[in-house]
Amino acid sequence: MKRILLATTAVVCAVQVFAPNEALAAGFMIRENSAESIATVYAGNASRADDVSTVFNNPAGMSWLQGSQVEVGSAVVFPSIQFKGNATVLGTPIPGDNSRNGGPSAGIPHLYGFFDLADNLKAGIAVTVPFGNTIDYTPTWSGRYVNTKTAAITADINPNISLPHQ
């Protein structure tokens, strides 16, 4: 039994040491949807109703706000995406340049607004960009035969209606 346990442990350790490492990659979640949310580190977003961005996090909060309001804003992201490694064809390295940052800067817009439909009814809309990611390498990049530019951009259009609180 000890030999089986030792052999199993040795095989598991060998696989962990000699197996190729996995590549980790993911999309980019963007939470920068209002200056106030960023300033409070998103604390209380689900219950706060003190500015027009409540349309996004707490649509019922529109009933606590007076009149019609609009907010337009943007955040800027400066990503740093560096590739390290090389590409090969049948074991022969492909010459290439890996010196450029592949993450271009991007503006992340948001728009919130609400207005009175009647004395007891408010309508609002939130337009945000919750996810996005762009990679942009030069044509001389060592991975150029796989990809040089990719963009995944989303938009969330969120209409809401709110009845007043009692």
- Tell me the pLDDT of the chain (166 aa) as tens digits: 778 877 777 776 666 656 655 555 455 677 777 777 777 777 777 777 888 888 988 888 888 888 899 999 888 888 887 777 777 878 888 888 887 778 888 888 899 999 988 877 899 999 998 887 788 888 888 777 777 888 888 889 999 998 876 6
The verdict on pTM exceeding 0.85 is no
- Which pLDDT score, from 0 to 100, does residue 3 have? 83
103: its two tokens:
């993450």
- Which pLDDT score, from 0 to 100, does residue 127 have? 94
155: its two tokens:
């938009």
Q: Rounded distance, CA 111 to CA 84, Å?
A: 38
The residues facing 159 across adjacent strands are 125
- Which pLDDT score, from 0 to 100, does residue 100 have? 77
b/e 41-70 (16+ beta carbons within 10 angstroms → b): eeeebeebbebbbbbbbbbbbbbebeeebe
Read off the DSSP letter of residue 60.
Answer: G
